[in-house]
Chain A
Amino acid sequence: IIDLYIVFAVVTALIQIAYVAVVGSFPFNSFLSGVLSCVGTAVLAVSLRIQVNKENKEFKDLPPERAFADFVLCNLVLHLVIMNFLG
C-alpha cells in the first residue's frame, strides 16, 4: 500500500512538471510547492516503509504505530509549509 502511495505521489509530481514544461514556470512558487509536496510526501512514505519493514534490523525495536504517528505528524508539518508557500 505504501509503495502504491509512493507511486501515486511521484506520478502527481511528474504531471505537475509536465504542466510547467508546457505553460511556463509562472507562478514559480506554486509549482515548487506542488512538486515539493508530492516529493516530500513520497519521501516520508519511503521512510515509513523503511521503519515498518520487519526485515530491517535497524528499526527492529521501533513499533510501527510509532512510525506511522511520525509519518502523520511530518506530513502535517510538510503540508502546513506547503500551503503557506503555495500563495
Chain B
Amino acid sequence: MDRNLGILVAALLLVASTCESAIFNPVSESHRSAASELLSSADGSFGSLEETYEALKTFEVLGIEKKPDIRTSACVSAVKILSSTSSALKDLFHALRVNGVLKCELNDQAFPGIGSKLKDSLNGASSLLDFYYSIGGLILIKDQTSEVDVHISDADRIFRSIKALSQSDGRWRLNSNNPESSNDAAGIALEALSGVISLASSEIDSSLIATLKNDISKLFDGVEKYDDGTCYFDEKLVDAHGHKGPLSASASIVRGITALAAVSSENLNLPGEKVLGLAKFFLGIGIPGSAKDLYYQIDALSCLESIRGSVPLILSLPATVLSVTKKDQLKVKVSTVLGSAAPPLSVKLMQIFVSGSKDASVIDQKLKFDPENSVHVLETLPTNVDVGNYIFSFEIIFDEPEHKNKYATGGRTRVPIHVTGVIKIDSAEIAILENDLGSVETQKKLDLPGESAVALSANHLQKLRLSFRLTTPSGQVFKPHQAFLKLKHDSGVEHIFVVANSGKKFEIILDFLGLVDKFFYLSGTYDLQLTVGDSVMENSFLQPLGHIELDLPEAPEKAARPPPQPVDMYSRYGPKAEISHIFRVPEKRPPRELSLAFFGLVILPFFGFLAGLFHLRANLKNFPKSIHATFAILFHLGIAAVLSLYALFWFKLDLFTTLKTLGLLGIFLMFVGHKTLSHLASTSAKLKTT
C-alpha cells in the first residue's frame, strides 16, 4: 500500500517536473590551466588596459600567480594614463581598475585630479557608459585612497537620469538617442546605480530603490531557460565583433545584481532558482576557448560566489558510472561555483527514476559525509538498482535553517547515473535438429564467454538452434542491445542473424531449408561467431563458437550469385610484383676475323676489275683537252663528291641535309656533265663526218 502510494506520488512528480537531468561541475584545475594557456602573453602585456584588467581579474579569482613582468608593463601603462591630464574617461576607468588589482606605485597627488575630473564627467554625463565609467572610477578611487572625497551630492538626480534610460521590460538603452535596449546595458546600469547608492552622501529615496527591484524582477521574467534548469540572458543584437552574446549579457547582469545586492540595505528577493540557473549556465559552458569568454565566465562566477541572499550551491558527482559488480560507491560533492566548501549540510537521495520508463522508486536515504574528502557517500546502492540507466534525484538539507535564506540549492537535483555490471551467461547450447520431427541430432554445450570450438555438420534439411540465458547481477533477465549470430563462409560471404529473446531465454533457430537461397547455395565450412553487447554490460563479447559444415544442394541456374568479396586493398592497390624486363637477345654476330676476311674478299673483285682494265689496255686518250679538260675534271670530281656525300650520309648525316647537298651538287654536276658530254658528242660527230 505504502509502496503503491509512493509510486503514485513519484509518477505525479515525474509528470509535473519538466527538468531534465544534467551534471554541472564547479570550477576546477582545468579552468586554471586553460587560463594560464589562454592568458599567456609573450612580452608581458595583453594589448589594451581593458584586456589587461580582464586577465588580471581572471588570475586573481582562479588563484594563479601573476608573472612579474606582467605587473611591470601593466603598471607602466596604468600610471601613464592616470598621470596624464588628457586621458579619456574610459581609459581612466580601466587604468584605475588595473591599479586596484596591482596596487602600482602612483603619485598620491594624481588622485584628487582624477577625482575631480570624474565628478565633472558625471555631472555632464548623458549616455549610460559615461555614467558607468565616472561612477565606477569614483568607487575605485574610494577603494584605493581615503584622501579624496568621492561622495556625490546630487545622487537622486543622477539616479533618475540613469533610470530614465530604462525600458518597461527591465532592459536599458545606452543613450536617449539609441532606441535599442539590451540586457548588457541593463547590467551596466545596475552596476552604475549600485555605485550611486554607495557614493550618495545622503540616503536615496526608497521609492526609487523599490522601482529598481521591480526592474530586476521584470528582467528575470525575460530570462531564457533550457530544460535542464539552466538560465541565461540572451541578446537580440550581436555587434560586429560578436562580443555581445548570451555570455556577456548574462555576465553583465550578474555583475549588476551582485553589486546592487551588496549595497542595498533590503533584500532584493532575487529568484533563487534563476540565480542557480545562471550559475549552471556559466558552469555548463565548460572551458571557453577565448580569453574574453573565460573572463566573462570567471568574473560572473566570482560574483555569484558572494552574491548576497542566494549564493548558488552546485551538486556534482566525480563519477557517474558505477559498477554493481565492483560495488562502487556513489559519491556526491556539494560546493560553491568556484569550488569552495559549502556550509554544513547533508545530501539525501530522494528518488531513483529509471531512464526511458515511468518507473520510479522513493528512497529517502541520507548520504554519509566524509569530512576528509568533503564528499557525501552512499556506501551501497539500493537493492532494487540493477544494471541500466537511472536518474537519481538528490536534495540538499542545511544543518542550520537560516542558511536557506543565504544559499540557493534549487530543490531537487537530478543526475543521470549509468550502472554497469557483469552479466552472467548460462545454459548456452548449440544443437542440430532434424527438420520435420524437431528431434535433436547433435547437441553441444557452450561455455560462454569463454573459448569454445564446436565442429558441427548439417545439410539443408536440418536446423541449427542456439540458445542461452542472460542474467544481471541481481538475478533479473537481461536484454542486451546487441545479440547477433554470424555465419561466415570460407569464401568470405557473411550472414548475420539477430538472436531474439522469448521470455527468459535467448534463442535462434536457423532453418536451412528456407535459408538455402539466402546462402547462395554455397556449401562448405561456415565459421560461427556470437556477439552479445550492451553499454551496461561490462563483459560484452564477440566470441567465435566453432564451425559448421553445411551441405546445401546445387544452385539452380537462376539463383543469385554471392556478392563479390572486397578485394584485399593491399593486393589491389599495393605494389605489384617486379617485372624483370627481358631484353631482346642480340643476334649472334660472326667473329670479327671472318668479317674482315670477307671484307678483303669483297675488295678483291675491284682489283680484278682494275687488272682487267689494264689488260684491256683501257686508256684516257679521249679525255678532253685544254679548257674542256676542266669541265671533265670537274665532272669526275662532282661524281666523287656525290659518292663521298653518300659515305658521309652513312656515317653521320641525316637524309634532309644529304638531299639538300645532293640537290646543289646535282645541279653543278648536270652543268659540268652536260658541258663535257656535249663537247665529247660534238667531237665524235665531227670525227664521223670527216
Which A positions have Cβ atoms within 8 angstroms of B?
1, 4-5, 7-8, 11-12, 15-16, 18-19, 22-24, 26-27, 63-66, 68-69, 72, 76, 79-80, 83-84, 86
Contact = CB atoms under 8 A, between A and B. Distances in A.
B680 A65 contact: yes
A84 B598 CA distance: 22
Given A12-B602, A15-B602, A69-B677, A23 B595 contact: yes
Given A11-B608, A65-B678, A66-B677, A16 B602 contact: yes
Interface residues of B, number: 36
Contacts of B587: 24, 26-27
14 contacts: A4-B609, A4-B616, A8-B606, A12-B606, A15-B601, A19-B601, A23-B590, A24-B587, A63-B681, A64-B681, A65-B677, A66-B677, A79-B643, A84-B655
B681 A8 contact: no
B42 interface: no
B649 interface: yes
A52 B689 CA distance: 19
Contacts of B595: 23
Interface string B562-593: 00000000000000000000000001111000
A5 B606 CA distance: 9
A15 B642 contact: no
Nearest to B685: A63
Nearest to B676: A65
A17 to B, nearest CB: 11
Contacts of A16: 602
Interface in B178-207: none
B612 A11 contact: no
A80 to B, nearest CB: 6
Nearest to A25: B587
B456 interface: no
Given A15-B605, A23-B595, A65 B681 contact: yes
Contact of A72 (B616, B662, B673): B673
Given A5-B609, A26-B589, A68-B677, A83 B601 contact: no
Contact of B616 (A1, A19, A27, A84): A1
Given A12-B602, A24-B590, A72-B673, A1 B655 contact: no
B560 interface: no
A63 to B, nearest CB: 5
Contacts, number: 76
Contacts of B649: 80, 83-84
A45 to B, nearest CB: 12
A1 B613 contact: yes
Contacts of B608: 8, 11
Contacts of A69: 673-674, 677
Candidate in B602, B612, B649, B684 with the most chain A CB atoms within 10 angstroms:
B602
B650 interface: yes
Candidate in A1, A72, A83 with the most chain B CB atoms within 10 angstroms:
A83
B677 A11 contact: no
B677 A23 contact: no
Contacts of B588: 24, 26
B11 interface: no
Nearest to A83: B646
B516 to A, nearest CB: 67
A41 to B, nearest CB: 12
Contacts of A11: 605, 608
Contacts of A19: 598, 601-602
Given A4-B613, A11-B605, 16 more contacts: A1-B616, A1-B618, A4-B612, A15-B601, A15-B605, A16-B602, A19-B598, A19-B602, A22-B590, A23-B589, A23-B594, A76-B639, A79-B643, A80-B649, A83-B649, A83-B650
A57 to B, nearest CB: 17
Given A26-B587, A80-B646, A83-B649, A8 B609 contact: yes
A15 B606 CA distance: 12
Interface in B636-653: 639, 642-643, 646-647, 649-650
A69 B677 CA distance: 8
Contacts of A64: 681, 684
A7 B609 CA distance: 8
Nearest to B647: A83
A27 B587 CA distance: 9
Q: Which 5 A-B pairs rank lowest in CB-CB distance, beginning with the nearest? A: A23-B590, A8-B609, A65-B677, A26-B587, A11-B605
A76 B639 CA distance: 8
Contacts of B594: 22-23
Interface string B153-193: 00000000000000000000000000000000000000000
